């Protein structure tokens, strides 16, 4: 049964796609569209065509599940040209997300009608490719070059209202979309010549006269595009749309598309698209597990984390009761939240009334007892087990039956915390990453006794507050921080042996990380976790902390900073490092970049393999989701485990064996990693 059906409404042929969940343009859909256009062409009684979709959205793009498989004709580039060459006017009726190939079908249609809530976009760059069905050639001709560049090089969609303002949508349909689209088709049925996007030049003329626009775009977006292949290819394809007629430009698009599609970056980013969606699934839970209703959230602690966590729920329209121990801390915390919202509003990403609306949902309190009305309570206080145990003991008496009790701990044992309550089945870890209102990652830490519906509630709530949740087991540092630890330890040892902070950081930044271990320490605070005793100096970090070189916030850490927080290598720090080398009797030596990669990145893969072996993560791709969303691992490398597969697990093992003496006696190779390397297996598909 074809997912494409047709029906008549007067002299309009209505073509409907019914291919849940997102009307992906799979082979059967493409075949059906070609047949429908042939039907329209062959029947004189058909004066116009409407293409629409049933379900949640207009075509959301090519079927990504078909990528890497043998091509099945007709391919999308042929389909869109057939639509554009239809002898009757074709109207695309858009709702939901007209993304990728979906927008390309709409662009090849002669007119576009959309509901105001619809979104239009070409997110192909997020998959490491570019719009490959004429999108890079038609979009600039319909929406203008500047808008086309921005949409196609970032992958960010625009709303239907904006699309209507720039002429990408011809009419907004308030109410019944099909009715409006048919009425519009009736209006345009006799207009000749039928308008074809591919032959329009009015909107590319300006760029033709000013090709500098492309280099200006490259310069303005260099940082965001750094390391990625696809955005530059998009710019080249749109340059071709401006410089060449459609038929030649679309050849250039095809060449660039095939080049990208055959590259590792595309494979990594397409892998990651599914990895991110897989992470929300919890294997082995009873199918009928229902989430608990969360009408009000309680947060204990109005510091950086407590405030940031609260903002996630307030922004999603969920009321929050926030509790501090002292009025001054409570006022400071709520003040920071308001300031953050106002900063977002100043950037035009929120309106004034949205700020007021969010803050109106916040109920500050000095009494834990006020949390009795909450369905979920998140503790976000000092990272100390005694403090957390004390709080959970009190919560056990205050919280209503069925309330979920969560700790935001980054490392500590959630089972130990749960044991201080009479309801361990209601206890879970919700590890947010700082800044909690910005970072998308949420580690959901599953205690030994955490109930299935608590987990399902956490995963569903994560989606509601626009987080990407990953289930982690109870171990020191869960998934992300557990892999971060060996990396930080080795990075510090490398300093003692001859590397400099800037060399280690450079290797990581060249690899694609947003910053290296020492830049990250300076940003987060060198003093995090410091014992606070300036007389106790047992490490380089102790020495820096004792000198109040706590990082950017103090104008000095591993680096010196100017008043604009620009870093420069510090001779003082270099001297401290060399003094420590001498004190530890370590002869400094030249250290290669490769050694840094093996000792700081290969070692992370080894820890990831142990996490998998101990069932502290459900799947290797979950580990990749943690590192991309929690630490900025470059998505064009897929994540640590996908990357290890591209390096080859045998090489990872060989590299770690090469470093075995330097990794020290407590280093052990993961048996799972060794087994997979020997068997020639991979961690990810």
Asked whether 559 and 522 are in contact (CB, 8 A), the reply is yes
Q: How far is the CB of 232 from ligand T1G (least distance, A)?
A: 17
Q: How far is the CB of 61 from ligand T1G (least distance, A)?
A: 2
Is 598 known to be catalytic? no
Question: DSSP assignment, residue 513?
Answer: -
Shortest Cβ 60–ligand T1G spacing (Å): 4
CA gap 577, 554 in Å, rounded: 20
Catalytic residue list contains 205: no
> Between 489 and 628, whose beta carbon lies closer to ligand T1G?
628
How many alpha carbons lie under 13 Å from residue 94 in its C-beta half-sphere?
35
User: Would you tell me which residues interact with ligand T1G (CB under 6 A)?
Assistant: 21-22, 24, 57, 60-65, 76, 97, 99-101, 104, 123-124, 127, 129, 131-133, 135, 274, 277
Q: Work out the number of other CB atoms within 10 angstroms of the CB of residue 650.
A: 13
Q: How far is the CB of 225 from ligand T1G (least distance, A)?
A: 18
Nearest distance in Å: CB 132, ligand T1G: 4
Handedness of CA 126, 129, 134, 139 (dihedral sign): positive
Question: Based on CB atoms, which residue is closest to ligand T1G, 104 or 229?
Answer: 104
Answer whether 518's CB lies under 8 Å from 504's CB. yes
Helix, strand, coil % in the chain, rounded to nearest 5: 50, 10, 35
The Cα–Cα gap between 280 and 15 comes to: 34
Sign of CA dihedral 276, 282, 283, 286: negative
In the complex, what is the shortest distance from the CB of residue 502 to ligand T1G, in angstroms, rounded to a whole number?
Answer: 38
Contact 385, 335 (CB under 8 A): no
Contact 473, 615 (CB under 8 A): yes
Which residue has 């850490």 as its token pair? 557
Q: 412 or 625, CB closer to ligand T1G? A: 625
From the CB of 673, what's the least distance to ligand T1G, in Å? 28
H-type helices in 85-173, by residue range? Answer: 101-108, 135-143, 145-154, 160-165
Q: Which is nearer to ligand T1G, 234 or 507 (CB)?
A: 234
- Residues 31, 66, 124, 416: which is the catalytic one? 124
Asked if residue 332 lies in contact with residue 339, where contact means CB atoms within 8 angstroms, the answer is no
Catalytic residue among 39, 66, 84, 104: 104
**3-class SS at 508?**
helix
Give 208 or 463: the residue with its C-beta nearer to ligand T1G.
463
Dig out the tokens for 307 from the structure.
Answer: 């405030």
Backbone angles phi, psi at 345, to 5 degrees: -65, -35
CA–CA gap between residue 456 and residue 169 (Å, rounded) = 39
Judged by CB, which is closer to ligand T1G: 135, or 557? 135
How many residues in the chain? 685
**Residues classed as catalytic:** 104, 124
């Amino acid at each position: 049964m074809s997912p494409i059906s047709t029906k008549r409404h007067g002299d309009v042929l209505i073509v409907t796609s019914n291919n849940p969940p997102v009307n992906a343009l799979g082979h059967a859909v493409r075949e059906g569209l070609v047949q429908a256009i042939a039907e329209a062409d062959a029947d004189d009684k058909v004066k116009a065509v409407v293409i629409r979709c049933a379900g949640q959205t207009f075509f959301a793009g090519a079927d990504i599940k078909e990528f890497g498989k043998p091509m099945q004709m007709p391919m999308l580039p042929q389909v869109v040209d057939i639509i554009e060459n239809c002898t009757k006017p074709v109207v695309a009726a858009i709702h939901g997300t007209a993304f990728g190939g979906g927008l390309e079908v709409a662009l090849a249609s002669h007119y576009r009608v959309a509901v105001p809530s619809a979104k239009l976009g070409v997110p192909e760059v997020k998959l490491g490719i570019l719009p490959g069905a004429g999108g890079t050639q038609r979009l600039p001709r319909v929406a203008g070059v500047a808008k086309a560049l921005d949409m196609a090089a970032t992958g960010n969609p625009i709303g239907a209202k904006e699309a209507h303002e720039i002429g990408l949508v011809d009419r907004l349909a308030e109410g019944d979309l099909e009715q409006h689209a048919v009425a519009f088709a009736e209006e345009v049925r006799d207009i000749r010549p039928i308008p074809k996007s591919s032959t329009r030049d009015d909107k590319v003329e300006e760029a033709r006269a000013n090709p500098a626009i492309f280099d200006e775009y490259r310069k303005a977006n260099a940082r965001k595009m750094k390391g990625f292949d696809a955005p530059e290819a998009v710019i080249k394809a749109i340059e071709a749309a401006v410089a060449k007629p459609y038929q030649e430009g679309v050849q250039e698009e095809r060449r660039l598309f095939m080049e990208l599609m055959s590259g590792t970056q595309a494979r990594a980013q397409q892998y990651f698209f599914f990895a991110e969606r897989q992470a929300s699934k919890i294997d082995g839970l009873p199918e009928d597990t229902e989430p608990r209703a969360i009408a009000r959230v309680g947060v204990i602690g109005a510091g950086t984390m407590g405030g940031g966590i609260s903002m996630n729920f307030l922004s999603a329209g969920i009321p929050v009761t926030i509790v501090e121990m002292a009025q001054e801390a409570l006022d400071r915390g709520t003040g920071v939240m308001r300031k953050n919202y106002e900063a977002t509003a100043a950037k035009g990403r929120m309106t004034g009334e949205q700020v007021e609306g969010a803050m109106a949902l916040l109920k500050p309190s000095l009494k834990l007892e006020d949390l009795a009305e909450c369905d979920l309570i998140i503790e976000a206080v000092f990272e100390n087990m005694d403090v957390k145990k004390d709080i959970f003991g009190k919560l056990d008496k205050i919280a209503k039956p069925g309330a979920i009790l969560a700790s935001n701990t980054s490392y500590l044992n959630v089972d130990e915390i749960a044991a201080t309550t009479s309801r361990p089945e209601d206890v879970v870890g919700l590890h947010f990453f700082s800044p909690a209102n910005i970072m998308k990652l949420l580690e959901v830490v599953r205690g030994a006794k955490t109930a299935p519906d608590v987990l399902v509630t956490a995963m569903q709530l994560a989606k509601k507050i626009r987080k990407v949740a990953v289930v982690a087991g109870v171990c020191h540092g869960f998934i992300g921080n557990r892999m971060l630890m060996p990396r930080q330890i080795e990075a510090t040892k490398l300093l003692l042996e001859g590397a400099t902070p800037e060399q280690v950081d450079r290797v990581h930044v060249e690899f694609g990380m947003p910053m290296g271990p020492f830049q990250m320490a300076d940003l987060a605070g060198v003093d995090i976790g410091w014992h606070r005793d300036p007389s106790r100096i047992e490490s380089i970090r102790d020495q820096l902390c004792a000198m109040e070189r706590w990082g950017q916030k103090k104008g000095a850490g591993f680096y010196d900073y100017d008043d604009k927080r620009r870093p420069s290598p510090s001779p003082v720090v270099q001297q401290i490092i060399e003094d420590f080398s001498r004190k530890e009797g370590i002869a400094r030596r030249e250290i290669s970049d490769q050694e840094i990669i093996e000792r700081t990145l290969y070692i992370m893969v080894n820890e990831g393999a142990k996490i998998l072996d101990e069932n502290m993560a459900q799947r290797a791709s979950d580990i990749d989701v943690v590192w991309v969303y929690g630490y900025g691992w470059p998505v064009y490398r897929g994540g640590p485990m996908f990357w290890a597969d591209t390096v080859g697990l045998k090489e990872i093992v060989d590299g770690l064996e090469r470093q075995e003496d330097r990794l020290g006696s407590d280093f052990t190779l993961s048996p799972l990693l060794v087994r997979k390397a020997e068997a020639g297996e991979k961690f990810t598909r």
